[in-house]
Amino acid sequence: MDDRLFRNAMGKFATGVTVITTNVNGTIHGMTANAFMSVSLNPKLVVISIGEKASMLEHIKQSGTFTVNILSAQQQELSMLFAGQMKEKREVQFSDLQGAPTIEGALAQISCEVASTYVEGDHTLFIGSVKDIQLEDGEPLLFFNGRYGSLAVETTMQA
């Protein structure tokens, strides 16, 4: 099957956008990811899927931890930065959730310890045991058909 057909089909599944962060010996790394899912309530588990060519793969293997930062509609530039889609490098100020690196302004910051790892095809699935959560108000950044978007704002027509 053609790769483009597969990607176009997967792109019909509208998702939010996350930046995965991890701290390896004091250096913080980030990567944009939309392959994220809630797995279990009891115990509290989530899953992320990291491509074999992504340097994040080695970083998470080394740290054994990751934080999922669910981006707000105002954070498209951060998504592009951490997907390697910006020409210029930028310095990012990370925040901290009980020692885990987080992105300020993200709607949810979910810090995890790697509970198990599954290599499937050209991606690795990391099951994360959730350790801490911090929430902020706001609207989500969306990804659909290979494009960013945001929720349509409902307007009331006046007669």
Span 115-144, contacts to ligand FAD by CB under 6 A: 143
Residue with smaller CB distance to ligand NAD, 88 or 120: 120
- Is the preceding omega at residue 43 within 30 degrees of 0, hence cis? yes
Applying the rule CB under 6 A, the residues between 80 and 99 that interact with ligand NAD are 83
What is the spatial distance between Cα 93 and Cα 110, in angstroms, rounded to a whole number? 17
Q: Using CB under 6 A, which of 24, 39, 51, 127 touches ligand NAD?
A: 51
Query: Contact at 8 Å (CB) between 68 and 49?
Result: no
Of residues 16-45, those binding ligand FAD (CB under 6 A): 17, 28-35
Rank residues 32 and 134 by Cβ distance to ligand FAD and give the closer one. 32
List binders of ligand NAD among 93-152 (CB under 6 A).
146
CB-CB contact of 37 with 108 (8 Å): no
CA angle, corner 63, sides to 83 and 133, nearest 5? 75
Residue ranges that bind ligand NAD, judged by CB under 6 A: 7, 10-11, 34-35, 49, 51, 83, 146
Residue ranges that bind ligand FAD, judged by CB under 6 A: 17, 28-35, 49-51, 54-56, 81-84, 89-90, 92, 143
